Structure 1
Amino acid sequence: MSTIKTHLFNSLTQTKKESRNKITIFGAGTVGTTTAFVILLQEISNDVVIISRNDDKIEGEVLDLVLTSHFVKNRPNISGGADLSLSTGSQVIIFTAGVKRIEGENHVDKIQRNVEIMKAFVPKLAQRSPNAVLIVVTDPCDVLAYVAWKLSGYPKNRIIASGTQIDSYRFRHLIAKVLDVGVESIDGWVIGEQGSECIPLLSSVSIGSFKLLDLDASFGSSESDSVKLSDIHEQTVQASDDIIKLKNSISWSIALTCADLAKTIVNDTNEIRVVSTMIKGLHGITKEVFLSLPCVLNSSGVTKVVNIKLNDKELKQLHMSTNFNDEIQKGISF
């Protein structure tokens, strides 16, 4: 091959491809590899790394993605393996690795097993990429974001979890469906704890530039309204259960959410996303917990948190989630 190159070219210098927006995905399961695929297709990064403890699987996944990259215009460098040094100099680290729940296992025991994975790898990843923003996806992402913060040594603004961003998308989709408008015309937030206790903020919903409750103060709450907020909340949460029941896991929507967060960070766009961040000092919270609020994201991570007005019920629920997560955090060791 070197002989052919000698005949074809007069070499002037060695090309060195600079990594400007390196993204490392830790975990080569369904979510991790799907996230890598979306990042590849959307051309978010010129350097994508997948780290996995399963050498054979990661070798196959990387080969598959490398061959897939020929279908995109700006082909990134794609690499992977068990060697953590591959992640060196990452701008974003997306942590997707986690264990599956064992039959009969309680919630805290499963969390502890995920904590053990984090203990083994988060400090080493942070050491190799001291300026990265770490996105925690592993369930339960709010509690594990707290663990990652403690283990990494990163400042709180550079640790986020995917949180209720995906719930917010589902919330908007359901509102759009009820009103028979395009989802692009709807804006609205779901905050708090990721999962069944998330808090949909009907007061945040707007259609175009109009606040929904300014147009119809009874929407979602009046007994005469066929659409109840409780129904919308239930459907928002139920969507996850339905998908898991039908296909055993959620991958595409989480992958697209992760890719969107990574894009917002590497492009330094200062856009608002509903992500899990440290909320001590906000809304009367005095404990160190990560829960979702609308945040401004850029290359430094979370730089601002939107000052949203919560009613008494929403504030009470946020404090309940705070206390619940704080108790879980007290029950794990790291």
Structure 2
Amino acid sequence: MEKTNRNIQGPRSKVAIIGTGSVGTTLAYTLMLREVAGEILLIGRNQAKAEGEALDLRHAQAFLPSPARVRAGVLEDAVDSDVVVACFSAPQPATLTDRNAMVRKNAELMREILPPLAKIAPDCKLVIVTNPVDPMTWLAIQLTGFPPERVFGTGTVVDSIRLRELLSADLRIHPDDLRAYILGEHGDKQFAAMSLAQAGGERIVPTPERRAFCERVKGFGIEIFQKKGNTSYGIAQATSYIIESILFDERRTMPLSVLLDGYLGLHDLCLSIPVVVGRNGIERHIQPELSGEEIALFREAADTVRSIIDNLKKELP
């Protein structure tokens, strides 16, 4: 059934990727290999690089049974896009240790790019990858005026997969069969909601060793960045997973950075909670019952993100 659904919808879908660095180009390659979209548009400041990446991708997809249309373009070409992905970022220092240090420069890019995009592709679903993803997702909602169900960040999807990879090795169960989430901030204030973790209906006991996994997960992104200069494969797969759930209306549950609408009494900020993702974007917020300790950790994450958002508010028109 899924294969038929994909054959019907895939050729009709257009995905625009803004930002042709490591994340944007790896995402384009992933979407191409997984035959997710009928058209993939690459938009970058360096037009020659975007054209070169598109040409290289077209040559690679000649090996695929159902090639997509891959091309480079400018922002105006994003018209009629079903999904637009914000992968752009200001240059990151090699010594980066905190995603929140990127707020000011990436907020400037958001203010430059998103208002005209909202006019060009007013009906798209907008996926934010740009870091720090939680305040950038909040800012994107303000700048576009889109309803919050159509603007969301990749949040802690990749962090949750990293946690499941560690738990999988420990439990000797495939990661896809584990239900375990990292929630809160995509950053230092993220936490593993171990009270919810289970496999096959059986609770995953939060041993000290498994609790320590969350601390390891927190540092993986920065560790990868410092060792290879970027993170690309994990976040590209995570973003493709989100896009597939939208384009094929799969209604998958995943932890994304979304505008909170009262969960734990919190409003007007974006953090990662489990949501259902389908054709309309965020179809439903899921409100899990966390332990007392986890609620406190979620509120700590909220305080951190809110302090950044309060500063961003001062610079809004």
Fold-level similarity (TM above 0.5): yes
2:250 corresponding residue in structure 1 = 269
**Partners of 1:101 and 1:141 in 2: CA distance:** 15
- Quick one: distance in 1 between partners of 2:38 and 2:95? 44
Distance 2:28 2:17 in 1: 7
Equivalenced residue count is 304
> Which residue, 46, 54, 61 being the options, matches 1:62?
54
Aligned sequence identity (%): 25
Secondary structure of 2:277's partner?
A: strand
Structure 1 partner of 2:88? 97
Q: Which amino acid aligns with 2:306?
A: D
Residue by residue, what CA displacement relative to the aligned partner does 1:269-324 show, whole Å, maximum 9, x if unpaired? 11111111011311111x31110011000111111111201112111121121121
Larger Rg: 1
Tell me, yes or no, if the aligned pair for 2:189 and 2:300 is still in contact at 8 Å. Answer: no
Partner of 1:251: 232
Relative distance call for 1:87 and 1:306 in structure 2 (3 A) is same
Query: Match for residue 12 of structure 1?
Result: none
Aligned equivalent of 1:131: 123
Identify if the C-alpha distance between structure 1 residues 313 and 266 changes in structure 2 by more than 3 Å, giving closer, same or farther: same
The alignment partner of 2:249 has SS state of: coil
1:41 pairs with 2:27: no
Aligned partner of 1:236 among 217, 225, 243: 217
Question: For residue 296 of structure 1, what is the aligned residue in structure 2?
Answer: 276
Higher helix share: 2
- Contact 2:99/2:131 (CA < 8 Å) preserved in 1? no
After superposition, the C-alpha distances for 1:59-91 in whole angstroms (9 at most, x for unaligned) are 11111111111011111111113x212111011
Give unmatched runs, 5+ long, in structure 1: 1-17, 214-218, 222-226
Quick one: which amino acid aligns to residue 316 of structure 1? Answer: A
Alignment CA distance shift 1:128-1:257 (3 Å) = same
Query: How much does 1:233 deviate?
Result: 1.0
* 1:176 maps onto 2:168 in alignment: yes
Q: Which runs of 5+ in 2 are unaligned?
A: 1-9
| Distance in 2, Cα, partners of 1:33 & 1:301 | 23
> Under a length normalisation based on structure 2, what TM-score does the superposition of the two structures give?
0.91
Q: Tell me the equivalent position of 2:262.
A: 281
Letter paired with 1:174: L
Contact 1:108 1:331 in 2 (8 A): no
User: How far apart are the structure 2 equivalents of 1:155 and 1:290?
Assistant: 14
CA distance in 2: counterparts of 1:138 and 1:98, whole angstroms = 6
Per-residue Cα deviation, 1:204-245 (whole angstroms, up to 9, x for no partner): 2212232224xxxxx415xxxxx251x111121232233223
Q: Distance in 2 between matches of 1:162 and 1:21?
A: 20
Equivalent pair of 2:89/2:109 in contact (CA under 8 Å): yes
Contact 1:279 1:288 (C-alpha < 8 Å) held by counterparts: yes
Counterpart residue type for residue 204 of structure 1: L
**TM, length-normalised to structure 1:** 0.86
Looking at structure 2, the residues matched to 85 and 19 of structure 1 have their Cα atoms a distance apart, in angstroms, of 21
2: CA distance, partners of 1:177 / 1:195: 24
